[in-house]
A and B are shown apart, each in its own frame.
Chain A
């Protein structure tokens, strides 16, 4: 029981990364912006978040710095896209490259070369009374602040898109921006907001890696998770409530491959490390019939 609880606790931690990152992609996607820059945002935010957390001694400030870095990159993406109508994928890929260079650059400039790896300040965990003592459930409810933020962000995004009028309007932009524009929705402003908020969430996911999971920064720390989050957003049909399920699924695959890698002697560990990446493709093929896309996602919109 203890083992299962600790395993589940680990899964929840990785779920936080995948869910926040894919939620960020889902939110922008609902307004028609296909944000593929997640990997770059996560890397740059991991670096900025870790530096701020380490230098200030506050993990909370680190998460905020990660969010701010994400918001800045999100702003760059949407500003260039809306102003110059440049292909979203080209922009996204350029930002991935920019973000990955920026991450190591920021780290080298502000931390320099150190003999021992700097360790992130501890995060305080938030316990829900009673639930924290129940086996298994305690894995879900004895976690740090960001885990609760992830639960809250998922619920808030679902509630916004499916239970409010303004959310319905916003979803309409992703389906048909011209129609939304005609009925008076400010398409451009919503796209700015969605992309910036979405990227900030991806930034929190990025900062979570060095501050909570690895407890120090290392180059290429996001290791493809920013791209796997795109896969999750797609097979979640761009729905927040499914993004958390997809996030949980991938977290489970990642934690299990890690456990198998330790346990198995016969199969070389590299093949277990490939497993999460292959799973993305297998699951996308398996679920392709059930996947829906916002009709305008990835396409530029101009009023003329």
Chain B
């Protein structure tokens, strides 16, 4: 084995060790707390990690969470590649769902076929997410405003926009007490294959898109090199401003697409809280998921799936053992902190 390979092999082992140590210590911590609260630890652990795999339903639920999570994880990951924080994944997802619903409901009386409606709703969804992210990118690029603040402020704007669309005529469902719209026309919805939402194909498509973008295109290469060394990249003629805008637009468009897919495939209408799962926003879980893989786009699909396994386990813990679902949410934040710490400690690299 040449030296290079040996080095790569031992580096790989160390990365594995980091994850093993972090996850083991986080689980030890969670289970200790669960034990202190007086619950059956063994049963809690088994519920947490095996619910997804014990029944077809469990697995379908896991995939249902994985799909939107992949989109919001990319929404954080892509701007994070040039060291900017897009905390706006949830607002961009909400904007995507809202824009998609508005176009779908507006065009409903025309009775257009699915071949026209589905792409239209998806395009509007992606545009809605991209628009919100564009504002944050613009405020950073031209006015030096920290995206952490701008994206959060825009989240609330998106939230009230959804609330407005879902509670005002003409789209409001007059019989509902909760902010919710009338159903989308059938031609603007997507179905299920063996209990798996068809939106999985769009998730797979976006995984392929992100992979090709970063492996095989000049744009992806520019983003990666700006992330590695901002000054050098500028010296070699990469337009930094454009790179900011592109990463935010891509991230926002993907979150928006994810939002449109949720309302088309899972809910069939726009409903307040559609971008939430297990007690928190997909956008928030997306940040955690992205930090788990150190903002490396290649790791996103697997990490999103494993995160969803934990979330499905958490839902089940709440149902069967009355352990609050927030317990797992808190634990995930702790796992992420531990992974970040161990990674810095053992591999000497931050983030």
Contact = CB atoms under 8 A, between A and B. Distances in A.
Interface string A96-134: 011011101100110000000000000000000000000
B270 interface: no
Nearest to A300: B350
B143 A288 contact: yes
Interface stretch (B106-114, B157-165, B239-247, B250-258): B157-165
A280 interface: yes
Contacts of B149: 227, 230-231, 234, 280-281, 284
Contact of B148 (A36, A84, A277, A281): A36
Interface in A48-107: 80, 84-87, 89-91, 93-95, 97-98, 100-102, 104-105
B333 A270 contact: no
A36 B149 CA distance: 9
Interface stretch (B123-131, B187-195, B305-313, B340-348): B340-348
A278 interface: yes
Contact of B153 (A100, A105, A224, A268): A224
Nearest to B150: A281
Interface stretch (B11-19, B52-60, B215-223, B280-288): B280-288
A288 B144 contact: yes
A104 B324 CA distance: 9
Contacts of B271: none
B156 A224 contact: yes
Contacts of A224: 152-153, 155-156
A273 B156 CA distance: 9
Interface size class of A (residues with CB under 8 A): 35 or more
A29 B138 CA distance: 25
Nearest to B336: A94
A64 to B, nearest CB: 23
B330 A277 contact: no
Given A227-B153, A271-B164, A101 B333 contact: yes
Give the dominant DSSP class at A's interface.
helix
B64 to A, nearest CB: 21
A168 interface: no
B291 interface: yes
B48 to A, nearest CB: 16
Nearest to A278: B157
Given A80-B341, A230-B148, A278-B157, A90 B291 contact: yes
Interface in B302-351: 324, 326-327, 329-330, 332-334, 336-337, 340-341, 344-345, 350-351
Nearest to B162: A270
Contact of A105 (B85, B139, B324): B324
B35 interface: no
A227 B148 CA distance: 8
Given A90-B351, A109-B37, A97 B288 contact: yes
Interface of A: 36, 39, 80, 84-87, 89-91, 93-95, 97-98, 100-102, 104-105, 108-109, 223-224, 227-228, 230-231, 234, 268, 270-271, 273-274, 277-278, 280-281, 284-285, 288
Interface of B: 37, 85, 87, 135, 139, 143-146, 148-150, 152-157, 160-161, 163-164, 167-168, 279-280, 284, 287-288, 291, 324, 326-327, 329-330, 332-334, 336-337, 340-341, 344-345, 350-351
In the A-B complex, the 10 residue pairs with the smallest Cβ-Cβ separation, listed nearest first, are A101-B329, A105-B326, A98-B333, A270-B164, A101-B330, A270-B160, A277-B153, A227-B152, A277-B156, A97-B333
